[in-house]
Amino acid sequence: MKSLLIKGNFISAPALGKLEILENGYLLTEDGVIKALFDKLPEQYSNIETDDYSGMLIMQSFCDMHLHAPQYPMLGMGMDLPLLEWLNTYTFKTEARFSDERYAREVYHALAQDLISRGTTRVVMFSSIHPKATLILMEELENAGVTGFVGKVNMDRNGGADLQETAVSSIRDTIYWLDECSRFKNVKPIITPRFTPSCSDGLMEELGKIASARGLNIQSHLSENLSEMEWVKSLRPDCSGYWQSYAKHGMWKDGTIMAHCVHCDDKELAAIKDAGVTVAHCADSNIDLCSGVAPVRKMLDMGIKVVLGSDIAGGAELSMTDVITKTIRASKIKRIESGWQTDFLSVAEAYYLGTTAAHLYFGDKPGFAPGNKLHAVVIDDSSLCTPRKLSLRERFERCLYISEKENIAAVYSNGVKCR
């Protein structure tokens, strides 16, 4: 059993709005599992190997709970278009290129390295419809040290000539992909119907059966854009709410992640809460594509589980520090829209959503809790201009807003130092 001490200033968010700060502390791991935190090192551990980050900030690593891997090459493109036009003009054409496995390897290697370099160690991610490219993505993530869930996208309608399956081929390729996923230790499959307009009722039914039979989680999109919602109504007149187009096929359950939820009405929000569905809030994307601002404070007050996603390439920022601060800014827009009746998210609250709230989805306990595999990012902020001596809390806030990936000194994922 290998023991390791890590020394530095530890900052974690064990609960919404609560920060725990341990100055000049020590964290003990055994085989990558957190055993204890100390403000003073017990004598019995004085000779253990130590990674010394004295003076630096050691924070929980970040989780990107909604992003589209094949859209990585088109970051920052089409930002003047609404959702549906953006999909048809840029997205589907870009994703179609991933039928080329060599191209997939090149892009996904770069993406995996970029994620780790920015302190993102856990993801819930869409691939494309291509099963072999999806396996390449999972392999590159695992090699880089990124853990989490990846889904082969399913879509048998409204994808255009270059990005569409039949229901039969979609299920066949999904089963092939799932059977191949057993090779991966830390990156697991998740069932991924793109969204209701992309999937026929028959395909949704079969995907729901596969998810149930294999005990798999599900990810998709919900109530992101008003035009999208009208489209769903025309396609599924049997459903009184968008959410029912998933629920009718066994996809509405604890472990399901629905991205966006910008325009959910009270009935849909209640259905989310009652089923234990998790909302992946993507503030940057929702603003970029003019979809709106999700009512995150209302969701949290209702007890809905909320996590954060970059939603690249609808969102133009892969860094989760940028996603966290964009989330704060979006909540301030919501406060203005509400006539100052809705509280915006504090720095501590948004950090919680980008870290602990998501780590909980993977089965962790809050914060740097004993029993968790170590997921941490070490930030050296010594190069940042300082007007005066700052408290650790002030340094933490400033790092969320202005630090760059060059300030990241180390990253630990699943108990292993990978950068």
Nearest C-alpha neighbor of 286 from the set 228, 242, 225, 335? 225
Q: Collect contacts of 200-203 with beta carbons under 8 A, ≥24 apart.
A: 200/156, 200/157, 200/167, 201/236, 201/249, 202/167, 203/154, 203/156, 203/167, 203/170, 203/171
Cα separation, 326 vs 99, in Å, equals 33
The residue to which tokens 């003073």 are assigned: 40
Residue 399 pLDDT:
97
Nearest C-alpha neighbor of 139 from the set 100, 111, 176? 111
pLDDT band at 303 (very low <50, low <70, confident <90, very high): very high
How confident is the model over 28-60, as pLDDT tens digits? 999 999 999 999 999 999 899 999 999 999 999
- E strand or H helix at 220: strand 219-222
Residue 319 pLDDT:
98
Residue 385 pLDDT:
87
**CATH hierarchy code of domain 62-354:** 3.20.20.140
Q: Residue 387: pLDDT above 90?
A: no
pTM of the model: 0.97
- Mean pLDDT over 174-188 rounds to 98
How confident is the model over 254-282, as pLDDT tens digits? 999 999 999 999 999 999 999 999 999 99
Residue 398 pLDDT:
97
Share of the chain above pLDDT 70, in %: 100
- Mean pLDDT over 351-367 rounds to 98
Residue 161 pLDDT:
81
Q: Which fold has domain 3-61+366-417?
A: Urease, subunit C; domain 1 (2.30.40)
Q: Residue 160: pLDDT above 90?
A: no
**Given CA atoms 9, 11, 14, 20 in this order, what sign does their dihedral have?**
positive
How confident is the model over 140-157, as pLDDT tens digits? 999 999 999 999 999 999
What backbone torsions phi and psi does residue 109 show, to the nearest 5 degrees? -65, -45
pLDDT band at 100 (very low <50, low <70, confident <90, very high): very high
Residue 396 pLDDT:
98
- Mean pLDDT over 152-177 rounds to 95
What backbone torsions phi and psi does residue 115 show, to the nearest 5 degrees? -60, -50
How confident is the model over 114-127, as pLDDT tens digits? 999 999 999 999 99
How confident is the model over 227-239, as pLDDT tens digits? 999 999 999 999 9
Q: pLDDT averaged over the chain?
A: 97
Entry field: residues in the chain = 419
Q: Residue 162: pLDDT above 90?
A: no
pLDDT band at 93 (very low <50, low <70, confident <90, very high): very high
Cα separation, 154 vs 203, in Å, equals 8
Residue 1 pLDDT:
84
- Mean pLDDT over 239-259 rounds to 98
- Mean pLDDT over 292-321 rounds to 97
Structural domain spans, the chain: 3-61+366-417, 62-354
How confident is the model over 65-84, as pLDDT tens digits? 999 999 999 999 999 999 89
Share of the chain above pLDDT 90, in %: 97
How does DSSP classify residue 327?
H
DSSP labels for 17-31? TEEEEEEEEEEEEET
